[in-house]
Structure 1
Amino acid sequence: MKFIPEEGKHLHEDCSTLILPAVSIGNVGQLTADLLVSSMGSEKVGYLDDPYVLPCVGNDAYGPFPQGDLALPLEAYDPPSNGLTVIQQRSPVIKGMMLEFAKNMADFIAGSGKKHIIILSSLDFGKWQKVDMSSGLQIYYLSSANSNGADENCEQLGWKKLQEYDPSQKHWKYLNDLAEGNATPEDTTSIEDELEEENYYASLPFAALFSFLKAKGLKVTCLLCYCSEGDNTSDAFQLADAACNF
């Protein structure tokens, strides 16, 4: 993965926190990234080139009228005042290449000097086992602060740990071993074909990104919400509000 800066610009070293969407159902993570970029008045400082992301191009992602400012698959934005860098991903990863993409992204972020990575993503509402809508949208989290994924600060904010995360379960353990370079070819052959069928959560892009970033020694927090396809604007607003707690 290569970072190409805009002319005269660079990633600000004083922005220690980076926000990164993981493409999933309803595109809530990407909607949230767009909301944060537009509301914070962030400026594009460059784009990322990776062979595992499908190419796409758009015109003026944030301007009210098209001015010919091209929008690319992976772009980096820095705000003028606070410490939140945002990487926006506008197209999916090539099928079967998510682990390679996660490794490349982790290598880039680790070398950029960022200390805390916030991954934004969504989960299929149909997979929700214990539905509780009494308090509105529930934010779930997964953190590298403890080996079991728990984080006291997240709990104090009223978020719930993703109960489906079990680092000893073979699919999560496989991701961890792979990220740390401990997976054997036999592990890869036996796990990859059954990953999506047997463990929905470990098969999602956020899980790969979490595992590879955590293996780099970075602090990683995943913010997650359940949703369906459709208009998920309200979900994006609540996820953005959650991200602004950091």
Structure 2
Amino acid sequence: MLQLKNRESLDLKGFTVIIPSICVGNAAQLACDLLIASKKMQRVGSLMHPALIPVFGPSAYQHEPTERVASCEIYESSENKLVVIQLRTPLISRHAQSLHDYLCELVHQAQRVVILSASFGFEKREIGTSPYEYCMSESFRETHKTQLENVKWMEFKGEMIFGGGNGLQLFRLLEDKKVPGMLLFRYVLEGDNSTDATLIVRELNDLCSSFLQLEAENKAIKLTIPVSWKLLFGNDVTAFIF
């Protein structure tokens, strides 16, 4: 299932792991793209599983021009002890639980796990409140209680995140396994969600700047747009059809 480059095992002890949910507008996957490109994270392996639709393509990031992309890849920044597990395809539903079980086993030694997701904007019921909601385990809450006082997120109390994909299911499984974790999602609309992805990363950095390490001069965040974003909606329409 797990193919690693130049190593025999994946040791996540002391690491922060970020996983995107397969959600509305691909906002979470785009946010992970930003993190990988901005921090120049290195691909350390790929994950194969029956729940993942096979895909293969050219490099998604300009800092790794010779790499190829697949359905699920693992990127690492050893300097910041940060790992991103990037998903690029929808999940085959009948195998999704098996994949979640495997991911929990893979990350159970991590210091913390952050799941990013999104929900349909029209599902937001309280106008004027933060567009972000979260769930977190008690161990994660205890570790970050000081930072939580500085954010204006709302705590999610529902049973389903509409458009949120597999994020809530994975979070609850991690919680059952006693893995310190948080699920953060933003209400978005379908379309070009690259701006939403940028906002998700900036918001996450407000809580987790200690391990994201994205701040540059004057506490500004500098993000690198991946080369793969040039074709988010395919090639330009040719003039020959008019």
Shorter-chain TM band: 0.7 to 0.9
Equivalent residue of 2:93, what SS? Answer: coil
Unmatched 5+ stretches in structure 1: 166-171, 173-198
Q: TM-score, normalised by structure 2?
A: 0.75
Aligned-residue RMSD, C-alpha: 2.9
Quote how far apart the aligned CAs of 1:139 are.
Answer: 2.3
Correspondence 1:160 to 2:159: no
Correspondence 1:118 to 2:111: no
For residue 20 of structure 1, what is the aligned residue in structure 2?
Answer: 19
Kept after mapping to 2: 8 A contact 1:24/1:123: yes
Unmatched 5+ stretches in structure 2: 209-242
Q: CA-to-partner distance for each residue in 1:195-223, whole Å, 9 max, x for gaps?
A: xxxx4559831111101111111111111
Quote how far apart the aligned CAs of 1:57 are.
Answer: 1.2
Q: TM-score, normalised by structure 1?
A: 0.74
Kept after mapping to 2: 8 A contact 1:119/1:222: yes
1:65 and 1:161 mapped to 2: Cα distance? 37
1:11 and 1:147 mapped to 2: Cα distance? 22
Aligned pairs (5 A) from 1:1-246: 2-8=1-7, 11=10, 13=12, 15-63=14-62, 67=66, 69-110=67-108, 113-132=109-128, 138-145=131-138, 152-153=145-146, 155-165=148-158, 172=159, 199-201=160-162, 204-244=165-205, 245-246=207-208
For residue 216 of structure 2, what is the aligned residue in structure 1?
Answer: none
Distance 1:62 1:107, change over 3 A: same
Distance 1:154 1:21, change over 3 A: farther
Quote how far apart the aligned CAs of 1:98 are.
Answer: 2.8
Quote how far apart the aligned CAs of 1:234 are.
Answer: 1.6
Equivalent residue of 1:97, what SS? Answer: helix
1:95 and 1:12 mapped to 2: Cα distance? 29
Question: What is the identity, as a one-letter code, of the residue corresponding to 1:51?
Answer: P
Kept after mapping to 2: 8 A contact 1:31/1:233: yes
1:154 and 1:243 mapped to 2: Cα distance? 11
